Structure 1
Amino acid sequence: MFPFLSTFFKIAVISLLVGAGLSFVNITAQDILGSVGMSPLELWIYLLEFRDWAIPNMILGAFIVVPIWLVIYLIRPPRAG
């Protein structure tokens, strides 16, 4: 779990520094989105559509993955501690 948190923290700090640098030279997120032909509202709509698609599919997949994982976990011999 620690490597994940460490990586997450590093990405957050680097993103903050890059964002501050871009802000210093007057580049906004809206400018970047506009250069690819999107507005912040369109991006938000796409994110909501992705969420609405992803959550039911994750739950559906979990109906198969979790029982298989549980059986493998119960059958596997104990690790040396």
Structure 2
Amino acid sequence: MFRIISGVFKIVVVSLLTGAALSALDLSAADILIELGLTPERTLALLQQGAAWALPNLILGSMVILPIWLVVALLRPPRGP
């Protein structure tokens, strides 16, 4: 659990530092998207399309994987002290 929190913290710190550096260079997210040939609206639409595709597949996969994981966890021999 500590490794996950540590990893998230590192990503947050690096993201803040990168954002501050880009802000100091007078760059915004919209400017970077325009340089890539995207608009903020198109980016949002692409994210929505990706979520609309991924969510049903995630739910369907979890309906298979979670029961299998539960059975394996229940049948695993207990750990000794």
Q: Same fold (TM over 0.5)?
A: yes
Gap runs ≥5 in structure 2: none
Q: Does 1:52 align with 2:34?
A: no
Alignment length, in residue pairs?
Answer: 81
Letter of the 1:3 counterpart:
R
Instruction: Please list, as runs of the form range in 1=range in 2, the aligned pairs for 1:2-81 lying within 5 A after superposition.
Output: 2-81=2-81
Gap runs ≥5 in structure 1: none
For residues 31-63 of structure 1, give each alpha carbon's deviation from its aligned partner in whole angstroms, at most 9, with x where no partner exists.
Answer: 111111101111111111111111111110011
State TM-score, norm by structure 2.
0.93
> Which contiguous aligned blocks of 4+ residues in structure 1 show a shift greater than 2 angstroms?
none
Percent sequence identity over matched residues? Answer: 47
Cα distance in 2 for residues equivalent to 1:41 and 1:13: 27
